[in-house]
């Protein structure tokens, strides 16, 4: 009986880590309506994961990258993650532009930059001022096995963004 209670206690203790590993939807909220109010700045293959990503930035992210090389507080970047169509061998089918043909929306990742995060949001769950969360296509929190912070931390010189240069190039093209 005591062993069963210990197992249950351990499961309850680690369940938040398992459910939301790699992001924290309690702090980084789903930006309702982003697809209508943000600018799409890139569509890319995520070849290592055989996915397609559409990248969006809000006005604060675009304005701050117009003025400098770091995101301002209030900047939000969204990545729609799609599974690609595949051929009979299970390989992604590239379109004429080389981008995989899109099949279904699998997840939506959100990066939000704030200079004043609330104290309960631990610094070790962020990179610089960026916080993360991953959502299902319907906007509900999604379980995520990847650790966003671990992958983004080495990118300090790129404002912790994999798509930093793409955003800079997009901003420059609009000037």
* pLDDT (tens digit per residue) in 58-91: 999 999 988 777 899 999 999 999 999 999 999 9
The pLDDT assigned to 22 comes to: 54
Gap between the Cα atoms of 148 and 61, Å rounded: 19
Q: What pTM was computed for the model?
A: 0.84
* pLDDT (tens digit per residue) in 37-66: 999 999 999 977 799 999 999 999 999 988
The pLDDT assigned to 6 comes to: 43
* pLDDT (tens digit per residue) in 91-147: 999 999 999 999 999 999 999 999 988 778 888 889 989 999 999 999 999 987 778
CATH code of the domain occupying 2-174: 3.50.70.20
Long-range contacts of 69-75 (CB under 8 A, 24+ apart): 69/159, 69/168, 70/159, 71/113, 71/129, 71/130, 71/159, 71/161, 72/113, 73/113, 73/114, 73/115, 73/116, 73/129, 74/113, 74/114, 75/112, 75/113
CA 133 to chain centre: 6
């Amino acid at each position: 009986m005591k062993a069963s209670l210990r197992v249950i206690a351990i499961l309850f203790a680690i369940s938040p880590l398992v459910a939301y590993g790699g992001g924290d939807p309690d702090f980084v909220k789903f930006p309702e309506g982003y697809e209508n109010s943000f600018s799409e700045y890139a569509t890319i293959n995520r070849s290592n994961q055989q996915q397609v990503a559409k990248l969006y930035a809000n006005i604060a992210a675009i304005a701050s990258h117009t003025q400098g090389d770091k995101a301002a507080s209030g900047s939000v970047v969204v990545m729609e993650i799609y599974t690609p169509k595949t051929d009979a061998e299970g390989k992604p089918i590239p379109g004429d532009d080389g981008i995989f043909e899109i099949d279904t929306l699998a997840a939506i990742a959100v990066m939000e930059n704030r200079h004043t995060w609330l104290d309960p949001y631990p610094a070790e769950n962020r990179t610089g001022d960026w916080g993360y969360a991953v959502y299902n296509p319907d906007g509900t929190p999604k379980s995520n096995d990847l650790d966003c912070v671990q992958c983004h931390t080495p990118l300090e010189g790129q404002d912790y963004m994999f798509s930093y240069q793409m955003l800079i190039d997009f901003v420059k093209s609009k000037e």
